[in-house]
Amino acid sequence: LSKAPLMALGDITVNNLQQARVINSILFPVNYNARFYEDMINAGELAKLAYFNDVCVGTVFCRKEPSDDEQSEKMYILTLGVLAPYRRFGVGSLMLDHVFKHISEKTTHIYLHVQVENEEALAFYEQKGFVRKDKVPNYYRDIEPPDAYILEKKI
C-alpha cells in the first residue's frame, strides 16, 4: 500500500516554534536571535512550517519591504529550507509557491541571499526563474567562503 506523500504548510506558533528553531539550526549557517523568532510568530502567512507525512521538515519566512520608488514593494525571503532527506519531493516548491500566492499587486520582485557554494539552492532557485543579480562579499560570518549571491525574480 503505497500512497503519495502528504505535504502541507502550517502556522508557526509559540507551541511549535522550537521545531522552527531546530530546523533552522540544521539548515542555515546563521544563529538567529530571539527577535527573529518573535517576528516569525507574528508574520502570519509569510512564515510557515512545512510537513511531509506529518513530520516537520522545513521552514519558510519572508517579509515585505518598500521599494526605492515608495510606490511598490519587494519580498525578501529570509529563510526557505528543507531537511536534506526530504528534498526533491516538492516541499521547497510548495513553500515557494506559497510565497508567490502572498505577494501583493504592488510587489515588483522577490529576492534572497544564497551562499556562493550552495549549488543545490542556486539550482533550485534558478530553475524557478530567479537570476543572480549581485555578489555580496563577506555576507556570512561563520562559513567559508563568506560570500553570497543575491538572487532575484521579477514579478
> Catalytic amino acids?
76, 113
Q: What is the distance between the alpha carbons of residues 108 and 73, in angstroms, rounded to a whole number?
A: 6
Q: Which residue has the cell 500566492?
A: 101
Q: How many H helices and E strands in the chain?
A: 4, 7
From CA 49, how far away is CA 20, in angstroms rounded? 7
